[in-house]
Amino acid sequence: MAMDMTGRKLFVKALLEEQVDTVFAYPGGMVTDILDELYKHEEIELVLPRHEQGLIHEAEGYSRATGKVGVCIVTSGPGATNIITGLADAHYDSIPLVCITGQVPLNLIGNDAFQEVDIVGMTRSITKYGVTVQDRKDLGKILKMAFHIARTGRPGPVLIDLPKDIQTASGPGEYPQSVFIRGYKPNESVHIGQLKKGYKLLKSAKKPLFLVGGGVNIAKANDKLLQLVERTKIPVVTTVMGKGAIPDDNPYYIGNSGMHGRYAANIAVGQCDVLFSIGTRFNDRITGDLNEFAPNAQIIHVDIDTASISRNVVVDVPIVADANLALDKLLEWAEPQKTEEWLEQIQEWNQKNPLEMRRDKGMTPQMILEQINQQFSEGIIVTDVGQHQMWATQYIELNADKQFITSGGLGTMGFGFPAAIGAKIGCPDQSVICISGDGGMQMNIQELATAMAQEANVIVCIFNNYYLGMVRQMQQLFYGKRYEATCLRRRKGCPKDCKGPGTACPPYEPDFVKLAESYGACGIRVTKEEEIVPALEKAKQCKTPVLIEFLIATEEIVLPMVKGGNPMTEMILK
Amino acid sequence: MKNRWIALYVENQVGVLAKVSGLFSGKAYNLQSLTVGTTEDETVSRMTICVTSDDITFEQIKKQLNRMVEVIKVIDLTDMPIHMKEILFAKVKDCTVADKAELFQIAQVFHVEVSDIGKDSVLLECKMTERRNNELIDLLRSKFKHIEIVRGGAVAIESISTSCGGRAEYFWK
């Protein structure tokens, strides 16, 4: 029997037992006790952000880059509500987080006490599990449950609401080695019969296709997928979250499918006769019009989450399994298939409509992304959300030494920069390149201070087109160029019916270069193609975080594009 | 779209009811009734849930319930032999003497109890299938102006011998 100890001591003991080396914490009245306890422990690095939303995205970036559980500590009330967006983001993209929110003492709960909110109630639908600790004696078990639930099965965020008096109360000092939860049994095996059925179907196909989602990246099953693909000679398309599951230069890899997917990839999904999908939710951005999705195909679906199977797309062979285990088994059976004609056909589609941006209208995102590919042979590419994100999914080339981190499910603007900081904290020896837009960057720009303080020397590439480009693109295509609320240079004096940038436009604010410099970071502005390489080379030499502002062609749009709700084979190409 | 029934074993803890009901509202599932109470094991509660849905949505509902950490077991009662009853109180007000007499007759035919009576009102206490309760309500509505209805939602349990009890659909029209 361990000696009795305070809740705060047990909390830190739990972190140490779970081998937590980094916590992301923002102080406040209801977490001062656990912070005071952490003060005594140099083995746990504490990262202080400048805003709790930055904090949770940093924890997400850290977790995505390292595969470890991201640990967040915030205070009650506003501290807790500020992490809500990040919880939803992590829930969508299956990121294991353990978030501790301070709470007012038990006897004040329900009194509308200062900085009291029902955070467990608010976040019930966007956490994998959430609970308020009501009794000090349960604390050890609850913390163990939190880590167990966060990292097993389909990973996700867990929220533990910790009243202040639980932190200071004395109670059992044990931290359990394992925990039994009768209602929680994540799948740890593969149904061999179903998998065999799926493989048999795949083998019988003339036009087989793999559709790979983020599940393969989470399961770290990339090598196995590569082996399977090379042995069976079956082409692969990925979702945005599945990007990087197979190296971009692999001859069997077609590209991303979906709303801004590659032409050949979407056509291949439309034409294939067997679609073998692994670790994807069949989100609407992948399927488009459900009635027209893979209309000729029998569909096999491997996913760890039963609720993801036959939810959006009704499948022929459902298989509940971890991607790793399923791929292991498939490798035992896999044999080469006759796919030459099918591959040639896909090549033809690819040559007919390759991914390419025009080169006669100023500096394009493609030019910058190609140079980023050239300049960095290893590293972690993190994106924010918007046009630049889709361009990055199209043009960034990944291999086994490169990782791609993006906010896929929730599409959270403001995610990219803090996530990049978290990734750099988790992987300090790797290059971390954040690709962001001028809009999203401003949503968590205060984290420049965190990057400086943590010496997290990320390279931020802002694609500045003066617009909230993804929405402006919709306005451009479907709303008669009525640029309502999307121009970031717009001022009171501007004409109401502005149809695009001109010489009389007001200057852009902020001046990103000066802003970076005001934090002590390095700021570089790139206005034309010739300056791209020198800027990136300079950035690599910098001993501080670097912010490069690329003034890109302003009205560039992301193509191909499928209008929301349309079939994926109906792409706008020009 | 049809009615379906689920028996749900859950942890008897704060917030579990909110989580289960929140799933139905958050995902726009059509919840007809939900009852909850503790079981022989006081750490476990059992819910009887009735939803209206199509086949695909119903499969999804069961999966979504199953993946909740606090849910111990999901039982689909729809095609099982079960016993299912619902408590209903019906208070009929502004009754004439003739009304009262008729209510006694109705009670006799429906096998329900007249559990309270006053100068001009009668209280019926019914423990019948939901379907039978619906029929009684329809009848009372057609005959009396001022009625007050309180119903508890169905509770269901699996049959012991398959010859008695019926499929859930039997309990609903």
Residues of A in contact with B15 (CB under 8 A): 120-121, 124, 131-132
**Domain encompassing residue B103:** 83-157
CB–CB contact B56 A184 (8 Å): no
CB–CB contact A305 B26 (8 Å): no
A314 — contact with chain B (CB < 8 Å)?
A: yes
> Is A470 designated active site?
yes
Q: How far apart are CA B7 and CA B36, in angstroms?
A: 10
Q: How far apart are CA B96 and CA B132, in angstroms?
A: 25
Do residues A343 and A210 both lie within one domain? yes
Do residues A101 and A200 both lie within one domain? no
Do residues A93 and A33 both lie within one domain? yes
Residue B110 lies in a domain: yes
C-alpha R_g of chain B: 18
CATH assignment of the domain containing A404: 3.40.50.970
Residues of B in contact with A131 (CB under 8 A): 13, 15
Q: How far is B154 from chain A (nearest CA, A)?
A: 24
Do residues B87 and B72 both lie within one domain? no
Out of A352, A377, A406, pick the residue that ends a domain.
A352
Q: How far apart are CA A573 and CA A567, in angstroms?
A: 14
**Domain encompassing residue A386:** 365-466+508-551
Catalytic one among A9, A128, A164, A207?
A164
Do residues A151 and A292 both lie within one domain? no
Going by DSSP bridges, is the β-strand pair B30-38/B44-53 parallel, antiparallel, or unpaired? antiparallel
Residues of B in contact with A314 (CB under 8 A): 56
CA angle A191, A194, A199 (to 5 degrees): 120
Strand spans (E) along chain B: 2-11, 30-38, 44-53, 71-76, 82-93, 113-117, 122-128, 146-158
Residue B9 lies in a domain: yes
Catalytic one among A5, A17, A115, A452?
A115
> Is A115 designated active site?
yes
Do residues B145 and B109 both lie within one domain? yes
Greatest CA separation for chain A: 76
pLDDT at residue number A461: 98
Q: How far apart are CA A82 and CA A44, in angstroms?
A: 24
Do residues A141 and A205 both lie within one domain? no
Is residue A509 helix, strand or coil? coil
pLDDT tens digits, residue range A479-507?
Answer: 999 999 999 999 999 998 998 998 899 99
**Percent of chain B scored above 70 by pLDDT?**
97
CATH assignment of the domain containing B150: 3.30.70.1150
Question: Which of A132, A183, A310 has its CB closest to that of B69?
Answer: A183
Out of B56, B76, B96, pick the residue that ends a domain.
B76
- Six token digits for residue A126: 């966007």
Do residues B112 and B51 both lie within one domain? no
A564 — contact with chain B (CB < 8 Å)?
A: no
Residue B172 lies in a domain: no
Number of Cβ pairs < 8 A linking chain A and chain B: 44
pLDDT at residue number A512: 98
DSSP A204-245: T-SSEEEEE-HHHHHTT-HHHHHHHHHHHT--EEE-TTTTTS
pLDDT tens digits, residue range B10-67?
Answer: 999 999 999 999 999 999 999 999 999 999 999 999 999 999 999 999 999 999 999 9
Do residues B70 and B88 both lie within one domain? no
Q: In this structure, are residues A42 and A210 in contact, taking their beta carbons and an 8 Å threshold? A: no
Do residues B90 and B139 both lie within one domain? yes
Q: How far is A571 from chain B (nearest CA, A)?
A: 29
> Is A52 designated active site?
yes
Q: How far is B16 from chain A (nearest CA, A)?
A: 10
Residue A472 lies in a domain: no
Residues of B in contact with A305 (CB under 8 A): 67
Going by DSSP bridges, is the β-strand pair A379-383/A402-405 parallel, antiparallel, or unpaired? parallel
* Per-position pLDDT tens, chain A of length 574: 568 999 999 999 999 999 999 999 999 999 999 999 999 999 999 999 999 999 999 999 999 999 999 999 999 999 999 999 999 999 999 999 999 999 999 999 999 999 999 999 999 999 999 999 999 999 999 999 999 999 999 999 999 999 999 999 999 999 999 999 999 999 888 999 999 999 999 999 999 999 999 999 999 999 999 999 999 999 999 999 999 999 999 999 999 999 999 999 999 999 999 999 999 999 999 999 999 999 999 999 999 999 999 899 999 999 999 999 999 999 999 999 999 999 999 999 999 999 988 887 789 999 999 999 999 999 999 999 999 999 999 999 999 999 999 999 999 999 999 999 999 999 999 999 999 999 999 999 999 999 999 999 999 999 999 999 999 999 999 999 999 999 999 999 999 899 899 889 999 999 999 999 999 999 999 999 999 999 999 999 999 999 999 999 998 999 999 999 999 999 999 8
pLDDT tens digits, residue range A433-465?
Answer: 999 999 999 999 999 999 999 999 999 999 999
A307 — contact with chain B (CB < 8 Å)?
A: yes
Closest Cα in chain B to A158: B69
Residue A412 lies in a domain: yes
Q: How far apart are CA A121 and CA A124, in angstroms?
A: 5
Question: Which of B13, B60, B72 has its CB closest to that of A307?
Answer: B60
Question: Which of B22, B59, B73 has its CB closest to that of A125?
Answer: B22
Residue A201 lies in a domain: yes
pLDDT at residue number B164: 67
Phi/psi of residue A541, each to 5°? -85, -20
Do residues B60 and B37 both lie within one domain? yes
Closest Cα in chain A to B15: A121
Do residues A144 and A198 both lie within one domain? no
Do residues B47 and B108 both lie within one domain? no
Residue A163 lies in a domain: yes
Do residues A156 and A197 both lie within one domain? no
Which residue of B66, B67, B68, B72 to mutate against A (max A Cβ within 10 Å)?
A: B67
Q: How far is CA A316 from CA A198, A247, A275, A328, in A?
A: 9, 29, 10, 21
Do residues B111 and B147 both lie within one domain? yes
CB–CB contact B68 A314 (8 Å): no
Out of A290, A323, A352, pick the residue that ends a domain.
A352
Residue B69 lies in a domain: yes
- The CA dihedral of B12, B18, B21, B23, to the nearest 10 degrees, is -110
Out of B47, B76, B105, pick the residue that ends a domain.
B76
Which residue of A311, A314, A320 to mutate against B (max B Cβ within 10 Å)?
A: A311
Residues of A in contact with B22 (CB under 8 A): 124-125
- CB atoms inside a 10 Å sphere around CB A86: 32
B63 — contact with chain A (CB < 8 Å)?
A: yes
Do residues A198 and A143 both lie within one domain? no
Do residues A163 and A227 both lie within one domain? no
Residue B92 lies in a domain: yes
Residues of A in contact with B68 (CB under 8 A): 183
Q: Which of A72, A67, A79, A66 is nearest to A28 (CA)?
A: A79
Residues of B in contact with A128 (CB under 8 A): 69
Do residues B12 and B59 both lie within one domain? yes
Residue B94 lies in a domain: yes
Is residue A73 helix, strand or coil? strand
Do residues B34 and B93 both lie within one domain? no
B143 — contact with chain A (CB < 8 Å)?
A: no
Out of B76, B95, B130, pick the residue that ends a domain.
B76
Q: In this structure, are residues B156 and B5 in contact, taking their beta carbons and an 8 Å threshold? A: yes
Question: Which of B19, B56, B59 has its CB closest to that of A124?
Answer: B19
Do residues A53 and A77 both lie within one domain? yes
A149 — contact with chain B (CB < 8 Å)?
A: yes
Phi/psi of residue A337, each to 5°? -115, 160
CATH assignment of the domain containing B47: 3.30.70.260
Residue A381 lies in a domain: yes
- Six token digits for residue B119: 């100068």
Write down the pTM of the prediction.
0.96
Q: How far apart are CA A58 and CA A60, in angstroms?
A: 5
CB–CB contact A307 B66 (8 Å): yes
> Is A164 designated active site?
yes
Do residues A331 and A199 both lie within one domain? yes
Which residue of A106, A125, A133, A315 to mutate against B (max B Cβ within 10 Å)?
A: A125
* Complex ipTM value: 0.92
- The CA dihedral of A223, A184, A58, A220, to the nearest 10 degrees, is 0
Portion 70-89 of B in contact with A at CB < 8 A: 70-73
Residue A181 lies in a domain: no
CB–CB contact A132 B14 (8 Å): yes
pLDDT at residue number B173: 47
Out of A352, A373, A406, pick the residue that ends a domain.
A352
Report helix angle A7-17 to A139-151, nearest 10.
Answer: 30
Q: How many domains are contained in chain B?
A: 2
CATH assignment of the domain containing A278: 3.40.50.1220
A492 — contact with chain B (CB < 8 Å)?
A: no
Do residues A39 and A113 both lie within one domain? yes
